[in-house]
């Protein structure tokens, strides 16, 4: 039966495919595809783990005291029966053979299928056996985890599966951690659906960077959608259509083809200079997460990297921090891939929606923090861990010998932080000189993400070379909205007068001081804001490579000087969004008449 689920549209377009549910069990598991020649070995892993649990339960049963309740032995018998049931073990093998899932993923996928079957049973006793099934699966997953610890997975056996000729797959989850999103980033998924999240949650940001449709904040999608259901993601309307009728399916296939044609047209602009009609040159930089993203930025026509989110080098490492050498190699690779164009590296920004995994004693303990977005994150954490901070700075400065590198500090709010940063940089430069490492001048910049930083920007500008406005957090902190919380997502408003006032004043202060200023938040890549940001005087945008063509198209049609004449009316309006729509509609009409 066809039904619809609604959420927040965060990445436009249409995706059609079969649902793949992840992290559906109570135990979080790794999800990756295995190579063809690893199938038998992966099946053997699953069977070995199942057999280990069987032995454990048989030992428990044999060691039961004579006065143990009869129900306890009966419960162990039920668990043993489930372990030998082909509906669990046989079907798990099929997931491995047909989809090339790793054993943990295959097992959790089959748990999802069986759990739904138990939910639909009319008999109360049988329906309650789902808890037994979950306990059995958790035991097997535990055995697999112990085996994985003894025999770490070979990186060569993990592949990005090529599903050419097979049904497209759509990822469905309650939530997707940033580290997991990076695992899936270059995979075969054609779209994302999550129960929680907002327009600027990390899942949304990565989906946009992949240029694939996504809907978040659906609340119930992962519970209502089943493994392998046919699903349509309408990334424009924020709708998810499950088991669509043939007529609906054909309508969306047509829209999908139209969208692909539009993207092909925009792609022709990628190497055209971003010049406004009145001759203003606009820098269009790219936001990247890993060095491997840099070639895509060049291909998209980016004129540099405006934001290298270095924290992703720190994730998926079981709590181990990357060494200086490892970081240096990564930064150097990104710098060289950009072929002489500038690369702005942001120091590690863990916290809030990007915690490190398996946190050790010297790392953030988010489970004890009531509001991590307001806690020890970003530069606060770096200054609290001086040896880690110096290590990262050394790696960044060493990479500067191979191209133009700029250093960006996140979440600055105090002049005392600037002084500590400058002092640390001096120490790092001396350490590198003593060690004989080459480096060149690295411009220092700060992110304007906190209202306090925007208000005191004239003071900050005395100590830095450039500023970059992170609109995602600036909106969050200005409006006191958790941007990852779908329950308040409707209050997250980039058009709020306070947000626009802070943006306009920050850009004006930087330009008046002769310092470069860019916007690297999601507003930069949203073509709905391009005219407004140009009117404010912004001449440097940084966004995901996939967003560059649509923003460039707007820039090529803009007269920046004439647009600025509309700014005062928009900023003075009770309804800035509506005023901007009228003003820029009038601008387009006037442009056609002349």
Tens digits of residue pLDDT in 143-169:
898 876 555 444 444 444 444 346 888
What gap in Å lies between CA 559 and CA 374, rounded to an integer? 40
463 in catalytic set: no
Same domain? For 140 and 222 the reply is: no
Q: Which of 190, 509, 520, 544 is catalytic?
A: 520
Q: In the prediction, which pLDDT does 316 show?
A: 67
Among 230, 265, 300, residue at a domain's last position: 265
8 A C-beta contact, residue 87 and residue 114:
yes
26 found inside a domain: no
Domain with residue 66: its CATH number is 1.10.274.10
Among 265, 284, 314, residue at a domain's last position: 265
| Token pair 């044609």: residue | 261
Domain with residue 16: its CATH number is 3.50.30.10
pLDDT, one tens digit per residue, over 279-299 is 999 999 999 989 999 998 999
What gap in Å lies between CA 240 and CA 149, rounded to an integer? 38
94 found inside a domain: yes
Same domain? For 248 and 280 the reply is: no
Instruction: Tell me which residue of 120, 308, 124 sits closest to 226, measured CA to CA.
Output: 120
521 found inside a domain: yes
What gap in Å lies between CA 203 and CA 582, rounded to an integer? 33
| Token pair 């009319």: residue | 122
Residue 178, C-beta contacts closer than 8 angstroms, at least 6 positions apart = 202, 203, 206, 312, 315, 353, 354
What gap in Å lies between CA 484 and CA 113, rounded to an integer? 29
- Number of domains, the chain: 3
Same domain? For 415 and 465 the reply is: yes
pTM: 0.72
Same domain? For 449 and 474 the reply is: yes
157 found inside a domain: no
496 in catalytic set: no
Q: Work out whether the CA dihedral 223, 224, 228, 230 comes out positive or negative.
A: negative
3-state secondary structure of 114: helix
Same domain? For 474 and 375 the reply is: yes
Compare 231 and 350 and report the one with higher pLDDT: 231
Residue 225, C-beta contacts closer than 8 angstroms, at least 6 positions apart = 5, 19, 21, 172, 193, 231, 240, 242
- Asked if residue 428 has pLDDT above 90, the reply is yes
Q: Which domain holds residue 392?
A: 276-593
Q: Which of 100, 202, 285, 509 is catalytic?
A: 202
**Range among 211-225, 226-240, 526-540 rated most confident:** 526-540
Phi, psi of 480 (to 5 degrees): 55, 50
Domain with residue 383: its CATH number is 3.20.20.60
Same domain? For 226 and 254 the reply is: yes
Instruction: Tell me which residue of 548, 475, 540 sits closest to 510, measured CA to CA.
Output: 540
Same domain? For 235 and 364 the reply is: no
In the sheet that 169-173 helps form, which strands lie side by side, from edge to edge?
A: 3-6, 239-242, 230-234, 14-21, 169-173, 189-194, 214-216, 8-11
Instruction: Tell me which residue of 355, 293, 341, 282 sits closest to 517, measured CA to CA.
Output: 282
What gap in Å lies between CA 576 and CA 498, rounded to an integer? 10
pLDDT band at 24 (very low <50, low <70, confident <90, very high): very low
What average pLDDT does range 166-175 have in this prediction?
84
Cα–chain center distance at 42: 29
Q: Which two tokens stand for residue 195?
A: 């129960």
523 found inside a domain: yes
Residue 396, C-beta contacts closer than 8 angstroms, at least 6 positions apart = 327, 331, 345, 347, 405, 407, 442
What gap in Å lies between CA 391 and CA 397, rounded to an integer? 10
160 found inside a domain: no
Cα–chain center distance at 249: 29
What gap in Å lies between CA 211 and CA 231, rounded to an integer? 18
pLDDT, one tens digit per residue, over 38-77 is 999 999 999 999 999 999 888 888 887 776 667 677 778 8
Q: Work out whether the CA dihedral 513, 519, 523, 526 comes out positive or negative.
A: positive
8 A C-beta contact, residue 544 and residue 285:
no
């Amino acid at each position: 039966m066809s039904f619809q689920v609604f959420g927040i549209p965060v990445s436009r377009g249409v995706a059609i495919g079969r649902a793949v549910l992840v992290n559906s069990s109570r135990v979080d598991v790794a999800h990756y595809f295995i190579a063809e020649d690893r199938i038998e070995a992966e099946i053997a892993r699953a069977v070995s783990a199942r057999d280990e649990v069987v032995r454990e339960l048989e030992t428990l049963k044999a060691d039961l005291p004579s006065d143990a309740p009869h129900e306890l032995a009966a419960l162990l018998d039920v668990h043993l029966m489930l372990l030998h049931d082909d509906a669990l073990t046989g079907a798990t093998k099929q997931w491995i053979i047909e989809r090339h899932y790793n054993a943990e993923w295959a097992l959790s996928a089959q748990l999802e299928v069986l759990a739904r079957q138990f939910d639909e049973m009319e008999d109360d006793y049988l329906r309650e056996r789902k808890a037994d099934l979950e306990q059995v699966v958790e035991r097997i997953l535990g055995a697999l985890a112990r085996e994985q610890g003894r025999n770490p997975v070979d990186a060569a056996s993990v592949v990005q599966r090529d599903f050419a000729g097979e049904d497209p797959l759509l990822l469905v989850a309650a939530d997707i951690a940033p580290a997991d999103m990076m695992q899936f980033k270059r995979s075969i998924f054609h779209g994302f659906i999550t129960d929680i999240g907002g327009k600027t949650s990390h899942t949304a940001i990565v989906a946009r960077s992949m240029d694939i449709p996504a809907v978040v904040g659906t609340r119930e999608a992962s519970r209502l959608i089943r493994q392998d259901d046919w699903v349509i993601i309408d990334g424009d309307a924020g709708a998810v259509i499950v088991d669509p009728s043939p007529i609906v399916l054909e309508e969306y296939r047509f829209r999908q083809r139209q969208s692909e044609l539009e993207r092909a047209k925009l792609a022709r602009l990628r190497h055209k200079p971003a010049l406004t009609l009145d001759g203003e040159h606009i820098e269009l930089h790219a936001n990247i997460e890993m060095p491997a993203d840099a070639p895509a930025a060049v291909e998209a026509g980016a004129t540099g990297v405006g934001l290298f989110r270095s924290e992703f080098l720190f994730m998926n490492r079981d709590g181990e921090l990357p060494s200086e050498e490892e970081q240096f190699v990564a930064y150097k690779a990104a710098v060289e891939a950009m072929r002489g164009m500038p690369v702005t590296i942001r120091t590690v920004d863990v916290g809030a929606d990007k915690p490190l995994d398996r946190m050790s004693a010297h790392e953030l303990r988010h489970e004890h923090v009531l509001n991590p977005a307001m806690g020890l994150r970003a530069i606060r954490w770096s200054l609290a861990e001086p040896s880690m901070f110096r290590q990262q700075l050394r790696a960044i400065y060493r990479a500067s010998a191979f191209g133009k590198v700029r250093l960006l500090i996140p979440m600055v709010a105090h002049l005392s932080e600037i002084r500590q940063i400058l002092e640390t940089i001096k120490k790092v430069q001396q350490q590198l000189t003593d060690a004989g490492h080459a480096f060149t001048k690295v411009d220092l910049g700060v992110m304007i993400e906190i209202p306090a930083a925007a208000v005191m920007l004239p003071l900050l500008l005395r100590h830095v070379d450039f500023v970059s406005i992170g609109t995602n957090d600036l909106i969050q902190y200005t409006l006191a909205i958790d941007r990852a919380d779908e329950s308040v997502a409707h209050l997250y408003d980039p058009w709020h007068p306070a947000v626009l006032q802070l943006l306009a004043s920050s850009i004006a202060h930087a330009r008046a001081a002769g310092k470069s200023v860019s916007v690297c938040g999601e507003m930069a890549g949203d073509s709905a804001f391009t005219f407004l940001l140009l009117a404010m005087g912004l001449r440097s945008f940084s966004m995901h490579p996939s967003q560059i063509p649509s923003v460039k198209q707007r820039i090529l049609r803009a007269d920046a000087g004439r647009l600025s004449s509309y700014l005062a009316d928009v900023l003075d309006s009770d309804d800035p969004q509506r005023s901007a729509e009228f003003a820029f509609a009038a601008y387009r009409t006037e442009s056609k008449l002349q």
